[in-house]
Chain A
Amino acid sequence: MTVRWWREVGLRHAGGLVAVVFAVVPVLYVVSAAFNPLGTVVSTDVIPTQFSLVHFRSLFSDPARPFPRWLLNTVIVCAAVTVVQVLCSALAAYAFSRFRFKGRRGGLLTLLLIQMFPQFLAVIALFTMITELGDAVPALGLNTIAGYSLVLMGGALAQVWLIKGYFDTIPRQLDEAAVVDGASHATVFFKILLPLARPILAVTGLLAFVGVIGEFLLASIFLTDTRSKTLAVGLYGIIESDRSNNLGVFAAGALMTALPVVLLFQYLQRYIVGGLTSGAVKD
């Protein structure tokens, strides 16, 4: 190891390690709390001192906190909303990227403005709406995963801007050539653009997924029945009802929630690195 190595590479590692410590310490705390049998605020520290699975066991055995059920609900909501959001956004992004039509610019701007309005502020109106919908079609009312998903699907066009940006970087010649070969607009979209846009679809999918899995404000209003709750509102209820005692159970639930997301992120890492910006720079 030469001095030069230290100056040019070692320092980079040093910086990286500082960032790693910063990133990891809070996560370690959660891990430590999850495995600490006492599970209180006072007894928990960053470095795990004791090891017990009692909190994980209680997650799967307490009927007042049906964790597996919450997990299932969350998976359903996340999957449904993510798929709908990415698909609708991709469809619209295709129109905005490839077609020239009246109101295109206005439409894009309007989309942006509406997206910036926090849906939460319209919560009273939403509540009334879902109540009415539930009276008419009980499967879509309050305390239903379907009704709650519908509300979140109001943000179906949230990813249009990002996907459109990516579509813009895919050379038009590709689809023009296909059209010459007799392909319909649908074929161009599904068979040519979508496969090419896989990185951005993965990224926007992740963004949507992360947004949905952490949503608890609306969930706490729309999902009050224990069995209809999502992880977010369920876990929030656990920690909110008794912050000092339920830290352990909460942390165990948090770990179980975060684990699949972390794995998904690791799997899709290469897309995130490339997906958001590669096209824009190439332009």
Chain B
Amino acid sequence: MRYRLLALITATALLTTTACSGDKKDETAATTAPSTAPSSAGGPAREDADLVIWTSEAASRAVTPIAQKFGQDNNITVAVQVIAADLAANAITANEAGNGPDILTLPNDFLGGALQNGTVKPLSLAASDLTAYEKSAVASVSRNGQVWALPYGMENLVLYRNTKAVPQAPATVEDLVSTGQAAVKKGTVKRALSLPVGQEGDAYHMHPFFTSAGGSLFGMDASGQYDTTKIGIGTPESIAAAKKIAALGEKGSKVLSRSIDGSNAIAQFTAGNAAYLISGPWALADIRKSKVPYDITPIPPFKGGKPAAPFLGVQAFWMLSNAKNPAFAEEFVTKTMNTPEAMTAMYEQDPRPPVRDDVLAAVSAKDADMGKLAAGAKNATLLPDFPFMAGVWPPLGQAYATIVGGADPTSTMQKTGKTIESAVKAK
């Protein structure tokens, strides 16, 4: 028995001393040698890197080289992490737990939820410091006299056209349908238009048709801001618009189909199956790779209708309020990224119209597509960022899908209006 006890004590003591000495080593390393940061080459990108950036896969290809150079210049480790699902929700939760990134990239509609949760901190740049940037882009990430993120790219829907199937750009939706269907008849393509609807609907992609047909999501106040007391869904205008959409649906001209969804819409076009595609700049890389001859034009309106208004989304860099490395984050966003060179690099890896006017001009001169994409934003309205939109998008999308599938537009829009009303009121 005594022997056992002895062994126990020895083992304990041994472990304690070895572990403690290990501890001390860590401490000294942390306090005395800040400049000898672990080399970024080879070593795994740890989550306690000196700068952690969360982003999407596409953007990561652009951000990674810039961030790595920043790391070398400042002799620090940088980790660019691709977040598979729910970047926004994960970032809010992780930031609150003190485990979030220092920087993330998300579109401007992150702002509402981020402010509600105190997730982001302002740029500490005044709007006047951002005069080189497109005004509407800066406005999209501004609130309460502060700019909350550094915008870098615009995204809005445009009309891609297979020029082999349809040489001339359509002037109206009716033109689009007739020329597309003519191409199908000729056998050049299998369908007129590829626009993602899916079983759950896609309110974002349907918005241009909806607005051109006279519908609106919210009213606008005098200053051009959304007036959420005036909900446009369920109104007679929205019902009239829904009827026009229904006419394009599965029980109408069959231009729209629930079988086309986010997973196959772009591929339908790049495979040469569709005469037209309604999509955004994210589709460009695939289309170029596919060698389908294409042109880009703004989305046409219905004949005699209002202009087709896509949503304008603005991709941006956000700094988090609980960042572990706020100084590096601020330096990276307000200095490194806030340059024409970095903005050009972002465009090169993840092509979408830059929001710096000088970069857009330079880029458009070389790449005509950028100007055409930007032209598609002429009638665009800003992507709304209210936190309650989480309760608006799903029922609205569902309404479109149901209507495309052949449901009664009138009652569907009325029911949806009520659902959206209660979602808006709840907050």
Binding site for B on A (CB under 8 A): 40-43, 64, 124, 127-128, 131, 134-135, 138, 141-143, 220-221, 224-228, 233-234, 236-237, 240-245
Contacts and interface: CB of A to CB of B under 8 A. Distances in A.
A131 B93 CA distance: 11
21 contacts: A40-B267, A41-B263, A64-B60, A64-B82, A127-B93, A131-B98, A138-B48, A141-B47, A141-B99, A220-B85, A224-B54, A225-B81, A226-B45, A227-B44, A237-B84, A237-B85, A241-B56, A241-B57, A241-B58, A241-B84, A244-B266
Nearest to B79: A225
B286 interface: yes
Contacts of B85: 220, 236-237, 240
Contacts of A131: 97-99
Interface stretch (B228-236, B268-276, B371-379): B268-276
B98 A244 contact: no
Contacts of A241: 56-58, 82, 84
Given A40-B267, A241-B56, 12 more contacts: A64-B61, A134-B99, A135-B98, A142-B47, A142-B99, A224-B47, A225-B79, A236-B85, A237-B82, A242-B58, A245-B266, A245-B286
Contacts of A135: 98
A240 B263 contact: no
Given A127-B93, A224-B90, A42 B267 contact: yes
B39 interface: no
B84 A243 contact: no
Contacts of A42: 264, 267-268, 270-271, 273
A244 B263 contact: yes
A79 B98 CA distance: 30
Contact of B81 (A40, A224, A245): A224
Nearest to A227: B44
Nearest to A228: B47
B83 interface: yes
A127 B79 CA distance: 21
B262 interface: yes
Given A64-B57, A241-B58, A227 B267 contact: no
B25 interface: no
Interface in B56-99: 56-58, 60-61, 64, 79, 81-85, 90, 93-94, 97-99
Nearest to B87: A224
B46 interface: yes
A111 to B, nearest CB: 30
A241 B84 CA distance: 7
From A127, A234, A242, A243, residue with most partner B Cβ within 10 Å: A242
Contact of A128 (B47, B61, B97, B265): B97
Contacts of A234: 84
Interface of B: 44-48, 54, 56-58, 60-61, 64, 79, 81-85, 90, 93-94, 97-99, 262-268, 270-271, 273, 286
A66 to B, nearest CB: 10
A64 B262 CA distance: 23
B2 to A, nearest CB: 22
A142 B54 CA distance: 15
Given A64-B82, A135-B98, A40 B57 contact: no
Contacts of B286: 244-245
Contacts of A41: 263-264, 267
A171 B27 CA distance: 58
A258 B45 CA distance: 28
A66 B157 CA distance: 33
A225 B78 CA distance: 12
Contact of B84 (A124, A236, A245): A236
From A42, A43, A124, A245, residue with most partner B Cβ within 10 Å: A42
Contacts of A225: 45-47, 79, 81
From B94, B263, B268, residue with most partner A Cβ within 10 Å: B263
Nearest to B266: A244
A45 B273 CA distance: 16
B89 to A, nearest CB: 10
A134 B84 CA distance: 22
Contacts of B56: 241
Nearest to A219: B84
Contacts of B84: 220, 233-234, 236-237, 240-241
A245 B267 contact: yes
Q: Closest 3 A-B residue pairs measured CB to CB?
A: A237-B84, A243-B263, A143-B47
A237 B57 contact: yes
B90 A221 contact: yes
A24 to B, nearest CB: 24
Contacts of A40: 267, 270-271
Contacts of B82: 64, 226, 237, 241
A10 B94 CA distance: 60
Nearest to B97: A131
Contacts of A242: 57-58
A243 B262 contact: yes
A124 B268 CA distance: 40
Contact of A127 (B97, B267, B273): B97
Contacts of A134: 99
Nearest to B86: A220
Contacts of A127: 93, 97
A134 B324 CA distance: 14
Contacts of B265: 244
A112 to B, nearest CB: 31
Contacts of A141: 47, 99
Nearest to A221: B90
Contacts of B48: 138
Contacts of A221: 90
